[in-house]
Amino acid sequence: MVGAGMGVALVPRMAAVPRDGVAMRELRADRPVRHVVAAVRKGAEEAAATAAVLTALRAAAEERAT
């Protein structure tokens, strides 16, 4: 609908792909908040690989928050 001139859209930065005929603007004030949830099978968070991913996600979230 955006490309057809019939609407606007909020798009996550990772999905923002420039397209002909579409103007993209970064929101500077009153930016939406994104919530990311990691779901793992009960007990799986103790597995080394899963724990490493969860640790990396927490670190990235903390870095992004500052």
- Assess if residue 24 is contained within a domain: yes
Number of folded domains that form the chain: 1
Q: Mind listing the pLDDT tens digit of every residue in the chain (66 residues)?
A: 888 888 888 888 888 888 888 888 888 888 777 788 899 999 888 899 999 999 999 999 888 877
pLDDT of residue 46: 86
pLDDT of residue 43: 87
Radius of gyration of the chain (CA): 18
- Assess if residue 48 is contained within a domain: yes
- Assess if residue 6 is contained within a domain: no
- Assess if residue 56 is contained within a domain: yes
**Which range of residues forms the domain containing residue 32?**
13-65
- C-alpha to C-alpha distance for 62 and 53, rounded to whole angstroms: 14
- Assess if residue 1 is contained within a domain: no
Reported as half-sphere exposure (CB side, CA atoms, 13 A), residue 45 has a value of 8
- C-alpha to C-alpha distance for 35 and 42, rounded to whole angstroms: 21
> Against a cut of 0.75, is the pTM above it?
no
The pair of structure tokens assigned to 40 is 């793992």
